[in-house]
Amino acid sequence: MNRERVRSILGVWMPMVIGLWIIATAIVFYFTANLTAAGPFGQNLESWRLVCSAGVFFLGGILLMSTFGRFQKARAAALEVAPSATPETADAPSDDSRPRTIK
């Protein structure tokens, strides 16, 4: 497996999977949490059900949108760089005194 594929999986797809998991958890919490007075907290917290679920849903959405935006930006930059690698630039002399940068 090459380095770019690993970066793609860890940098783009895993945060999206985590965001979807957070959203799914918020939905499950909204429908199944026992927040009545007989529940584990001993007081009625039903009024907080929507607030907690909406907040976690919002955080998962922010994680998804920011990761997808970063993915689109990186893809656009990669597509922009690819056509500029023409044969004329390949013949240009390079400065070998600088060390190579690992990306």
pLDDT digits (tens, 9 = 90+) for 37-51: 887 778 888 888 899
pLDDT-based confidence at residue 22 (cuts at 50, 70, 90): very high
- CA gap 28, 57 in Å, rounded: 11
**Nearest Cα to Cα of residue 23 among 69, 46, 56:** 56
pLDDT at 98 over 70: no
**Nearest Cα to Cα of residue 66 among 10, 11, 23:** 11
Does residue 84 or residue 24 have the better pLDDT? 24
- CA gap 89, 33 in Å, rounded: 62
The pTM assigned to this predicted structure is 0.65
Encoded tokens for 65:
């949108």
Question: What number is the average pLDDT over the span 91-103?
Answer: 60
What's the confidence (pLDDT) of residue 35? 84
Residue 64 near residue 20, CB atoms below 8 Å: yes
